[in-house]
């Protein structure tokens, strides 16, 4: 799909994307690159990074892959330094690395719970903390667009509650909280904007492969109603572009939901026609007998 944005909106910018080797992180890296940015992607698996970097370079994007684990502070500081040395600066950090699997609380050990919080929440904090010195630009007090940007990839699971996702829900709730706190603190002190994106179900991502069993995938992808259909990694990348560009320069501390309204929907227990009829019957009854006044007294 073609981008509605001008091809140079990120010209000269350098972006660092954790989890940039696949799924949403890859498409953000690709679209940032296609709009003028140079991109460093970080992930744990060398072969995944290599394939992603080749794909980016084949589209004319300046890209490097740096192997590391966001759970390890020494990895975080090493790869950020390598990216800085390679490109000479760092403007945007995207915290896209995440871990997920389906597990009910009975089957989820405390260590498994901690593992996901370590990747998603502590990882987001660690990367942001280690990137701070690079993201500062000494533009304090000159408006929000002078500092760098942190973009945290979140989710909508924790707005309500999601089956078998207690660990991820807790982790992403912490990510949203980190987004707000850093937006306050680093927005004030360094003009660094910190925002999030909460994607809904997005097709062709590791998340979907883990959360929706293969045998259910064709049923899910067939539903074309806005609130039910699957998003594309492109949708998330476009939101990221908006937030990273000057168009988003006054947006700070927000997590943008990009899900077609999916999180608002709950299973529909009563058919639409039945609701209409039921509602009319109830209205008629209450007109005859206002609440609290027995109809015999009217």
Q: Where along the sequence are the contacts to ligand HXC (CB under 6 A)?
A: 98-101, 103, 107-109, 111-112, 115-116, 155, 157, 168, 206-207, 210-211
> Closer CB to ligand HXC, residue 79 or residue 98?
98
Minimum gap (Å) between residue 109 Cβ and ligand HXC? 3
> Closer CB to ligand HXC, residue 111 or residue 218?
111
Report the DSSP beta bridge partners of residue 196: 152, 255
> Closer CB to ligand HXC, residue 101 or residue 234?
101
Minimum gap (Å) between residue 47 Cβ and ligand HXC? 15
> Closer CB to ligand HXC, residue 38 or residue 205?
205
d(CA 249, CA 190): 14
> The tokens of 252 are what?
């700070």
Quick check: helix, strand or coil at residue 180?
Answer: helix
Residue 152 main-chain phi, psi, to 5 deg: -105, 125
DSSP state of 144: G
Minimum gap (Å) between residue 256 Cβ and ligand HXC? 15
Minimum gap (Å) between residue 203 Cβ and ligand HXC? 12
> Closer CB to ligand HXC, residue 112 or residue 270?
112
Please say whether the beta carbons of 152 and 127 come within 8 A. Answer: no
> Closer CB to ligand HXC, residue 9 or residue 79?
79
Using CB positions, name the residue nearest to ligand HXC. Answer: 99
Minimum gap (Å) between residue 49 Cβ and ligand HXC? 14
- Helix, strand, coil shares of the chain, percent, nearest 5, are 50, 15, 35
E strand or H helix that includes residue 199? strand 193-199
> The tokens of 298 are what?
């009217």
d(CA 272, CA 122): 44
Minimum gap (Å) between residue 172 Cβ and ligand HXC? 7
> Closer CB to ligand HXC, residue 76 or residue 168?
168
Please say whether the beta carbons of 148 and 192 come within 8 A. Answer: yes
Q: Give me the helices (H) in the chain, please.
A: 23-34, 46-58, 73-87, 110-117, 123-135, 166-190, 206-211, 214-222, 233-244, 272-288
Minimum gap (Å) between residue 41 Cβ and ligand HXC? 14
């Amino acid at each position: 799909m073609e981008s509605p944005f001008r091809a140079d909106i990120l010209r000269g910018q350098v972006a660092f994307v954790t989890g940039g080797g696949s799924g949403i992180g890859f498409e953000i890296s690709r679209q940032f690159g296609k709009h003028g940015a140079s991109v460093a992607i970080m992930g744990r698996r060398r072969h995944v990074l290599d394939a992603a970097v080749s794909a980016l370079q084949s589209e004319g994007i300046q890209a490097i892959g740096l192997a590391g684990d966001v759970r390890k502070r020494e990895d975080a500081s090493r790869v950020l330094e390598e990216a800085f040395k390679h490109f000479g600066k760092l403007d945007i950090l995207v915290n896209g690395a995440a871990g997920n699997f389906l597990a009910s609380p009975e089957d989820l050990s405390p260590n498994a719970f901690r593992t996901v919080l370590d990747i998603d929440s502590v990882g987001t904090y660690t990367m942001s903390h280690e990137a701070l010195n690079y993201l500062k630009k000494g533009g304090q007090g000159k408006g929000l667009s002078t500092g760098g940007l942190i973009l945290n990839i979140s989710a909508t699971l924790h707005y309500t509650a999601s089956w078998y996702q207690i660990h991820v829900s807790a982790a992403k709730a912490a990510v949203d909280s980190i987004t707000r706190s850093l937006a306050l603190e680093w927005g004030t002190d360094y003009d660094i904007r910190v925002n999030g994106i909460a994607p809904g179900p997005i097709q062709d991502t590791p998340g979907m492969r883990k959360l929706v069993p293969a045998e259910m995938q064709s049923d899910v992808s067939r539903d074309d109603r806005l609130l039910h259909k699957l998003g594309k990694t492109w949708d998330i990348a476009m939101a990221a572009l908006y937030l990273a560009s000057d168009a988003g320069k006054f947006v700070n501390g927000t997590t943008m939901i990009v899900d077609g309204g999916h999180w608002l929907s709950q299973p529909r227990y009563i058919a639409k026609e039945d609701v209409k009829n039921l509602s009319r019957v109830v209205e008629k009854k209450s007109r005859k007998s206002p609440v609290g006044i027995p109809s015999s007294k009217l």
